[in-house]
Amino acid sequence: LGGGGVGVDGGEGIEGGREERAYVPALGLSNMGGDVDRLKEDDIEDSDEETDGTTEGGKTTRNVTMPGERELGVKTIWLEVGKMGGHDGEVLTMASTALCNVEEGERKKPVLLSANKSRDEKTSGIRVWDVATNVCTAILGGGHKSSVCCLAFNDSGTVVASSGKDRRLCLWSLPAAGEAAGEPALLARVEGAHKRIVWCLDWCRGESSRKFLATGSRDGKVKIWDTSTSPPQAVQVIDVGEPVTALAFGFKPFPNLLALGTESGVVSVLEVSDDFKAHTVKVAKMPRGHRKTVNKVAFRPGQEKPQLASCGDDHGVRIWSLE
Protein backbone atom coordinates (compact mmCIF):
# COMPACT_ATOMS: atom_id res chain seq x y z
CA LEU A 1 0.00 0.00 0.00
CA GLY A 2 1.21 3.53 -0.55
CA GLY A 3 1.05 6.43 -2.94
CA GLY A 4 -2.64 7.31 -3.03
CA GLY A 5 -4.85 6.95 0.00
CA VAL A 6 -7.49 4.33 0.57
CA GLY A 7 -10.67 5.53 2.25
CA VAL A 8 -11.53 3.46 5.28
CA ASP A 9 -15.20 3.65 4.34
CA GLY A 10 -14.67 2.49 0.76
CA GLY A 11 -13.94 5.97 -0.58
CA GLU A 12 -17.43 7.43 0.00
CA GLY A 13 -16.29 9.88 2.66
CA ILE A 14 -17.82 10.54 6.07
CA GLU A 15 -20.15 13.15 7.52
CA GLY A 16 -19.39 16.72 6.60
CA GLY A 17 -17.76 15.77 3.30
CA ARG A 18 -14.48 15.00 4.99
CA GLU A 19 -12.68 11.88 3.83
CA GLU A 20 -10.75 9.79 6.29
CA ARG A 21 -7.77 8.10 4.71
CA ALA A 22 -5.00 5.80 5.88
CA TYR A 23 -1.65 6.17 4.17
CA VAL A 24 0.46 3.06 4.72
CA PRO A 25 3.83 3.42 2.96
CA ALA A 26 6.30 0.62 2.47
CA LEU A 27 8.31 -0.32 5.53
CA GLY A 28 10.71 2.40 6.58
CA LEU A 29 13.87 0.40 6.10
CA SER A 30 12.99 -0.40 2.49
CA ASN A 31 12.41 3.31 1.83
CA MET A 32 16.01 4.15 2.55
CA GLY A 33 17.35 3.43 -0.93
CA GLY A 34 16.35 5.29 -4.08
CA ASP A 35 13.57 7.29 -2.42
CA VAL A 36 16.03 9.21 -0.25
CA ASP A 37 18.31 9.99 -3.19
CA ARG A 38 15.38 11.20 -5.28
CA LEU A 39 13.91 13.40 -2.57
CA LYS A 40 17.23 15.03 -1.72
CA GLU A 41 17.41 16.36 -5.26
CA ASP A 42 14.10 18.20 -4.93
CA ASP A 43 14.43 21.95 -4.43
CA ILE A 44 11.59 24.13 -3.24
CA GLU A 45 11.15 27.84 -3.68
CA ASP A 46 12.16 29.98 -0.71
CA SER A 47 9.16 31.07 1.36
CA ASP A 48 8.25 32.36 4.78
CA GLU A 49 7.53 28.84 5.99
CA GLU A 50 9.95 27.30 8.43
CA THR A 51 12.19 24.59 7.04
CA ASP A 52 15.00 22.51 8.41
CA GLY A 53 17.00 22.81 5.20
CA THR A 54 19.80 25.06 4.01
CA THR A 55 19.41 28.07 1.72
CA GLU A 56 21.50 28.31 -1.41
CA GLY A 57 20.98 30.84 -4.19
CA GLY A 58 17.51 31.84 -3.08
CA LYS A 59 16.29 28.27 -2.88
CA THR A 60 15.86 26.07 0.14
CA THR A 61 17.04 22.49 -0.13
CA ARG A 62 15.02 20.03 1.90
CA ASN A 63 16.79 17.70 4.27
CA VAL A 64 14.69 14.57 4.04
CA THR A 65 14.97 11.61 6.34
CA MET A 66 12.80 8.62 5.54
CA PRO A 67 10.71 7.34 8.47
CA GLY A 68 12.01 4.53 10.61
CA GLU A 69 10.01 1.65 12.04
CA ARG A 70 9.17 3.49 15.27
CA GLU A 71 7.81 6.53 13.41
CA LEU A 72 5.79 4.34 11.07
CA GLY A 73 4.29 2.56 14.05
CA VAL A 74 3.22 5.86 15.62
CA LYS A 75 2.03 7.77 12.54
CA THR A 76 0.50 5.05 10.38
CA ILE A 77 -2.40 2.71 10.91
CA TRP A 78 -1.65 -0.96 11.60
CA LEU A 79 -4.80 -2.72 12.67
CA GLU A 80 -4.45 -4.74 15.86
CA VAL A 81 -6.51 -7.92 15.69
CA GLY A 82 -5.64 -9.28 19.13
CA LYS A 83 -3.44 -8.94 22.17
CA MET A 84 -2.00 -11.59 24.46
CA GLY A 85 -0.79 -10.49 27.87
CA GLY A 86 0.90 -12.24 30.74
CA HIS A 87 4.66 -12.20 30.30
CA ASP A 88 6.88 -10.91 33.10
CA GLY A 89 9.46 -9.36 30.78
CA GLU A 90 10.57 -8.72 27.21
CA VAL A 91 9.48 -11.45 24.79
CA LEU A 92 12.58 -13.05 23.26
CA THR A 93 11.25 -15.79 21.00
CA MET A 94 8.08 -17.27 19.52
CA ALA A 95 7.07 -20.35 17.55
CA SER A 96 3.87 -21.54 15.91
CA THR A 97 2.40 -24.58 14.22
CA ALA A 98 1.78 -22.61 11.01
CA LEU A 99 4.29 -24.64 8.98
CA CYS A 100 3.77 -27.96 10.73
CA ASN A 101 2.45 -30.93 8.78
CA VAL A 102 -0.68 -31.07 10.89
CA GLU A 103 -2.40 -33.61 8.62
CA GLU A 104 0.04 -36.22 9.83
CA GLY A 105 -0.02 -35.08 13.43
CA GLU A 106 -2.61 -35.04 16.17
CA ARG A 107 -2.88 -31.29 16.56
CA LYS A 108 -5.36 -29.48 14.31
CA LYS A 109 -5.82 -26.10 15.99
CA PRO A 110 -3.13 -23.43 15.49
CA VAL A 111 -0.92 -22.97 18.52
CA LEU A 112 1.55 -20.23 19.43
CA LEU A 113 4.43 -20.41 21.92
CA SER A 114 6.28 -17.48 23.48
CA ALA A 115 9.04 -16.99 26.04
CA ASN A 116 10.37 -13.90 27.81
CA LYS A 117 13.66 -12.70 29.24
CA SER A 118 14.16 -14.11 32.74
CA ARG A 119 16.75 -14.73 35.42
CA ASP A 120 15.19 -17.56 37.39
CA GLU A 121 13.17 -20.72 36.96
CA LYS A 122 9.97 -19.10 38.19
CA THR A 123 9.76 -16.61 35.32
CA SER A 124 11.30 -18.74 32.56
CA GLY A 125 8.14 -20.65 31.68
CA ILE A 126 7.07 -20.99 28.04
CA ARG A 127 3.51 -19.87 27.39
CA VAL A 128 1.16 -21.83 25.14
CA TRP A 129 -1.50 -19.70 23.43
CA ASP A 130 -4.77 -20.48 21.68
CA VAL A 131 -4.66 -17.94 18.86
CA ALA A 132 -8.41 -18.22 18.26
CA THR A 133 -9.21 -16.88 21.74
CA ASN A 134 -5.89 -15.15 22.65
CA VAL A 135 -5.89 -17.18 25.87
CA CYS A 136 -2.85 -18.78 27.52
CA THR A 137 -3.85 -22.43 27.85
CA ALA A 138 -0.72 -23.76 29.58
CA ILE A 139 2.76 -22.85 30.80
CA LEU A 140 5.76 -25.09 30.19
CA GLY A 141 7.56 -24.75 33.50
CA GLY A 142 10.33 -26.51 35.37
CA GLY A 143 12.58 -26.99 32.36
CA HIS A 144 14.70 -23.86 32.25
CA LYS A 145 16.26 -21.65 34.91
CA SER A 146 16.87 -18.52 32.81
CA SER A 147 15.95 -16.93 29.48
CA VAL A 148 14.65 -19.20 26.72
CA CYS A 149 16.09 -17.90 23.44
CA CYS A 150 14.76 -20.38 20.87
CA LEU A 151 11.71 -22.57 20.33
CA ALA A 152 10.69 -24.98 17.57
CA PHE A 153 7.85 -27.42 16.89
CA ASN A 154 8.53 -30.77 15.29
CA ASP A 155 6.84 -31.49 11.96
CA SER A 156 3.67 -32.90 13.53
CA GLY A 157 3.32 -30.00 15.98
CA THR A 158 3.16 -32.26 19.03
CA VAL A 159 6.72 -31.95 20.39
CA VAL A 160 8.52 -28.70 21.20
CA ALA A 161 12.25 -28.14 21.61
CA SER A 162 13.58 -25.23 23.67
CA SER A 163 16.97 -23.90 24.73
CA GLY A 164 18.66 -20.67 25.73
CA LYS A 165 20.89 -18.94 28.23
CA ASP A 166 21.09 -21.85 30.68
CA ARG A 167 22.44 -24.09 27.85
CA ARG A 168 19.78 -26.69 28.57
CA LEU A 169 18.03 -28.51 25.74
CA CYS A 170 14.45 -29.44 26.66
CA LEU A 171 11.83 -31.47 24.81
CA TRP A 172 8.15 -31.06 25.64
CA SER A 173 5.02 -32.91 24.59
CA LEU A 174 1.84 -30.90 24.15
CA PRO A 175 -1.66 -32.26 24.82
CA ALA A 176 -3.19 -33.70 21.68
CA ALA A 177 -6.33 -32.16 20.19
CA GLY A 178 -9.37 -32.99 22.27
CA GLU A 179 -7.47 -33.48 25.51
CA ALA A 180 -8.10 -31.23 28.47
CA ALA A 181 -5.76 -28.25 28.70
CA GLY A 182 -3.10 -28.70 31.34
CA GLU A 183 0.58 -28.63 32.07
CA PRO A 184 2.43 -30.22 29.13
CA ALA A 185 4.92 -32.96 29.90
CA LEU A 186 8.68 -32.47 29.97
CA LEU A 187 9.94 -35.41 27.90
CA ALA A 188 13.69 -34.93 28.24
CA ARG A 189 16.32 -32.45 29.36
CA VAL A 190 20.00 -32.24 28.46
CA GLU A 191 22.26 -30.25 30.79
CA GLY A 192 25.09 -28.33 29.15
CA ALA A 193 24.03 -28.99 25.56
CA HIS A 194 26.62 -26.38 24.55
CA LYS A 195 29.42 -24.51 26.32
CA ARG A 196 27.82 -21.12 25.70
CA ILE A 197 24.32 -19.70 25.24
CA VAL A 198 22.18 -21.49 22.64
CA TRP A 199 20.78 -19.00 20.13
CA CYS A 200 18.88 -21.20 17.66
CA LEU A 201 17.45 -24.64 16.92
CA ASP A 202 15.27 -26.42 14.37
CA TRP A 203 13.89 -29.87 13.56
CA CYS A 204 14.69 -31.81 10.40
CA ARG A 205 11.58 -32.47 8.30
CA GLY A 206 12.80 -35.53 6.36
CA GLU A 207 10.61 -38.62 6.25
CA SER A 208 13.23 -40.83 7.92
CA SER A 209 14.91 -38.18 10.03
CA ARG A 210 12.20 -36.26 11.89
CA LYS A 211 13.73 -37.39 15.15
CA PHE A 212 16.78 -35.21 14.46
CA LEU A 213 17.25 -31.71 15.81
CA ALA A 214 19.97 -29.09 15.23
CA THR A 215 21.16 -26.47 17.74
CA GLY A 216 23.49 -23.50 17.24
CA SER A 217 25.42 -21.69 19.95
CA ARG A 218 27.74 -18.85 20.80
CA ASP A 219 30.46 -21.47 21.25
CA GLY A 220 30.72 -21.68 17.45
CA LYS A 221 29.31 -25.20 17.22
CA VAL A 222 26.26 -26.72 15.55
CA LYS A 223 25.12 -29.99 17.07
CA ILE A 224 22.81 -32.59 15.54
CA TRP A 225 20.77 -34.46 18.16
CA ASP A 226 19.03 -37.83 17.96
CA THR A 227 15.85 -37.27 19.97
CA SER A 228 14.71 -40.90 19.79
CA THR A 229 16.93 -41.65 22.79
CA SER A 230 16.36 -40.40 26.32
CA PRO A 231 18.06 -38.10 26.92
CA PRO A 232 18.82 -36.98 23.35
CA GLN A 233 22.34 -37.73 22.12
CA ALA A 234 24.56 -35.50 19.98
CA VAL A 235 25.44 -37.57 16.91
CA GLN A 236 27.40 -34.88 15.08
CA VAL A 237 29.23 -31.66 15.98
CA ILE A 238 29.98 -29.09 13.26
CA ASP A 239 32.64 -26.52 14.07
CA VAL A 240 31.58 -23.28 12.39
CA GLY A 241 34.39 -21.23 13.92
CA GLU A 242 32.29 -18.31 15.14
CA PRO A 243 29.04 -17.80 17.07
CA VAL A 244 26.03 -19.31 15.30
CA THR A 245 23.04 -16.99 15.65
CA ALA A 246 20.49 -18.55 13.27
CA LEU A 247 19.78 -21.89 11.61
CA ALA A 248 16.96 -23.63 9.74
CA PHE A 249 16.35 -26.92 7.95
CA GLY A 250 14.80 -27.02 4.50
CA PHE A 251 11.41 -28.34 3.42
CA LYS A 252 10.60 -31.21 1.07
CA PRO A 253 12.19 -32.10 -1.27
CA PHE A 254 15.31 -30.66 0.43
CA PRO A 255 14.89 -31.61 4.10
CA ASN A 256 18.61 -32.25 4.61
CA LEU A 257 19.69 -28.72 3.72
CA LEU A 258 20.71 -26.75 6.79
CA ALA A 259 21.12 -22.97 6.56
CA LEU A 260 23.35 -21.18 9.06
CA GLY A 261 23.78 -17.51 9.98
CA THR A 262 26.64 -16.21 12.09
CA GLU A 263 27.57 -13.26 14.26
CA SER A 264 29.79 -11.76 11.55
CA GLY A 265 27.00 -11.83 8.96
CA VAL A 266 27.97 -14.96 7.01
CA VAL A 267 25.14 -17.05 5.56
CA SER A 268 25.95 -20.59 4.44
CA VAL A 269 24.10 -23.78 3.57
CA LEU A 270 25.19 -27.29 4.53
CA GLU A 271 23.95 -30.62 3.27
CA VAL A 272 23.87 -33.33 5.89
CA SER A 273 23.57 -37.08 5.37
CA ASP A 274 20.42 -39.09 6.05
CA ASP A 275 21.86 -40.64 9.21
CA PHE A 276 23.50 -37.35 10.28
CA LYS A 277 26.68 -39.23 11.15
CA ALA A 278 28.67 -38.80 7.95
CA HIS A 279 30.83 -35.79 7.14
CA THR A 280 28.81 -32.67 6.48
CA VAL A 281 29.50 -31.09 3.10
CA LYS A 282 29.31 -27.32 2.69
CA VAL A 283 27.44 -26.75 -0.56
CA ALA A 284 27.13 -22.96 -0.60
CA LYS A 285 28.44 -19.84 1.07
CA MET A 286 26.52 -16.73 0.13
CA PRO A 287 28.84 -14.25 -1.64
CA ARG A 288 27.25 -11.05 -0.34
CA GLY A 289 26.01 -11.77 3.13
CA HIS A 290 25.10 -9.36 5.87
CA ARG A 291 27.37 -6.68 7.31
CA LYS A 292 26.27 -7.48 10.85
CA THR A 293 24.85 -10.35 12.88
CA VAL A 294 22.34 -12.62 11.12
CA ASN A 295 19.15 -12.81 13.20
CA LYS A 296 17.05 -15.27 11.22
CA VAL A 297 17.22 -17.66 8.27
CA ALA A 298 14.27 -19.54 6.77
CA PHE A 299 13.66 -21.71 3.73
CA ARG A 300 10.61 -21.18 1.55
CA PRO A 301 8.35 -24.26 1.48
CA GLY A 302 6.87 -25.83 -1.64
CA GLN A 303 9.62 -24.88 -4.10
CA GLU A 304 11.20 -26.98 -6.86
CA LYS A 305 14.50 -25.22 -6.18
CA PRO A 306 15.45 -24.16 -2.65
CA GLN A 307 15.00 -20.51 -1.74
CA LEU A 308 16.32 -19.00 1.47
CA ALA A 309 15.59 -15.72 3.24
CA SER A 310 17.85 -14.08 5.82
CA CYS A 311 17.75 -10.90 7.90
CA GLY A 312 20.27 -9.23 10.15
CA ASP A 313 21.28 -6.34 12.36
CA ASP A 314 22.33 -4.42 9.23
CA HIS A 315 18.58 -3.85 8.64
CA GLY A 316 18.77 -5.94 5.48
CA VAL A 317 16.63 -8.80 4.23
CA ARG A 318 18.08 -11.01 1.53
CA ILE A 319 16.49 -13.77 -0.53
CA TRP A 320 18.77 -16.43 -1.99
CA SER A 321 18.11 -18.94 -4.77
CA LEU A 322 20.20 -22.10 -4.64
CA GLU A 323 21.03 -23.94 -7.84
Q: Are 168 and 193 in contact (CB under 8 A)?
A: yes
CA distance 271 to 276: 10
Pick the more confident residue, 318 or 101: 318
pLDDT of residue 323: 75
CA distance 49 to 64: 16
Averaged over 100-120, what is the pLDDT?
Answer: 76
Averaged over 87-105, what is the pLDDT?
Answer: 80
Pick the more confident residue, 38 or 154: 154
Measured between alpha carbons, how far apart are the two ends of the chain, in Å?
Answer: 33
Averaged over 149-178, what is the pLDDT?
Answer: 88
Mean pLDDT of the chain: 77
Q: State yes or no: pLDDT of 43 exceeds 50.
A: no
Q: What is the pLDDT of residues 195-219, one digit of tens each?
A: 999 999 999 987 766 689 999 999 9
Long-range contacts, stretch 231-237, CB < 8 angstroms, 24+ apart: 231/188, 231/189, 231/190, 232/169, 232/171, 232/188, 232/190, 234/193, 235/275, 235/276, 235/277, 236/272, 236/276, 236/277, 236/280
Chain centre to alpha carbon of residue 74: 23
* Of residues 154, 156, 150, the one with CA closest to residue 168: 150
- The CATH code that applies to domain 91-321 is 2.130.10.10
Q: Are 246 and 216 in contact (CB under 8 A)?
A: yes
Q: What is the pLDDT of residues 162-175, one digit of tens each?
A: 999 999 999 999 86
Sequence ranges of the chain with CATH classification 2.130.10.10: 91-321
Q: What is the pLDDT of residues 51-86, one digit of tens each?
A: 444 444 554 444 556 667 677 667 776 666 778 888
pLDDT of residue 232: 94
Pick the more confident residue, 46 or 252: 252
